Amino acid sequence: MTKTQLLIVEDDQALARMLCSVLELRGYRVVMALDRDSALLALQANPQLRCVIQDLGLPPMPNSLEAGLETMREILKLSPSVKIIVLTGRGKQEAALQAIKEGAFDFFEKPVAVDMLVNAIERSLLFANAEQTMQGEGLYPIHFNSSLEEDGLKATKDSFEAQLVRRVLVEAEYNVKTASERLGLRRENLYYLIRKHGIELDRAGDFAEV
C-alpha cells in the first residue's frame, strides 16, 4: 500500500533521482521538481502532498539562499499545512536556522542518512495529522516571527491576522461562505481582509460563494 505523496525540490538531478528511488522503495509516492516554478506546479497538481524535502540552493541563484527561501515561502503560502524538510550544504546551519524561523519543519546537512530522513518525514506526517484533527475542531496552528521592538504590536497582529485568513481560505478551498463561517465573519468583512492583506485573487481563481 503506497504511503502519502512527497515532493522533492532539488536542482541536482542525480541527487533528486536517488532520493526519489530510495523513498519509493520505502513505500512513498514521490514527485520531483528541479526549481521553484516546477515545485509550485507540482504542489498545485498534487494537493494531497503533505511533506516537501527541499534544497535551499535553487536556480537561478544556487549559491544564494534567497531563491530557496522564496520557494519555501511560496510553498507555505500555497499550502500552509505542508511540512518542509530543508536540505543544506555542509557548514550552512545558519541558513537552515533561517529557514526554521520562516516555517520549515526540520533540516539536515547533505548528505543525509536515509533512516534519519525517513524518521523526519514520519514525524512531519504525525504533525500534519494532528493539525488536521485540530482544524476539525476549529483550531488553526499559525507560524510567524515578529520582533516587537522592530515591528510593534500592530504589525505582529496584522501578521497573525493575514496568516490566519490565508490558512482558513486555503483549507476551505477558497469557498468564501465556508471561510466566513469558520472565521465568524460576514462575507463583506472577509473580502475586506483579503484586500487589506493583498491575498491574490488569481491564485484562488474566482472565490466560490456557495
Q: Is the pLDDT score of 118 beyond 90?
A: yes
Q: 27-36, 157-166, 181-190: which range is least confident on average?
A: 157-166
C-alpha 2/C-alpha 180 separation (Å) is: 36
Predicted confidence (pLDDT) per residue in 51-97, tens digit: 999 998 888 877 777 888 999 999 988 888 899 999 987 667 777 78
Q: Is the pLDDT score of 4 beyond 80?
A: no
Q: Quick one: three-class SS letters along the chain?
A: CCEEEEEEECCCHHHHHHHHHHHHHCCEEEEEECCHHHHHHHHHHCCCCCEEEEECCCCCCCCCCHHHHHHHHHHHHHCCCCEEEEEECCCCHHHHHHHHHCCCCEEEECCCCHHHHHHHHHHHHHHHHHHHHHHHCCCCCCCCCCCHHHHHHHHHHHHHHHHHHHHHHHHCCCEHHHHHHHHCCCHHHHHHHHHHCCCCHHHHCCCECC
Q: Is the pLDDT score of 200 beyond 50?
A: yes
**Residue 88 in contact with residue 56, Cβ under 8 Å?**
yes
pLDDT of residue 63: 72
Average pLDDT rounded to a whole number, residues 159-175: 77
Average pLDDT rounded to a whole number, residues 192-200: 80
- Could you tell me the pLDDT band of residue 145, with boundaries at 50, 70 and 90? low
Who has greater pLDDT, 203 or 110? 110
Phi, psi at residue 59, to the nearest 5°?
-60, 150
148-204: CATH architecture: Orthogonal Bundle (1.10)
pLDDT of residue 204: 45
- CATH says 3-136 is which class? alpha beta
Who has greater pLDDT, 173 or 115? 115
Average pLDDT rounded to a whole number, residues 8-28: 93
Q: Enumerate the domain spans of the chain.
A: 3-136, 148-204
Who has greater pLDDT, 91 or 23? 23
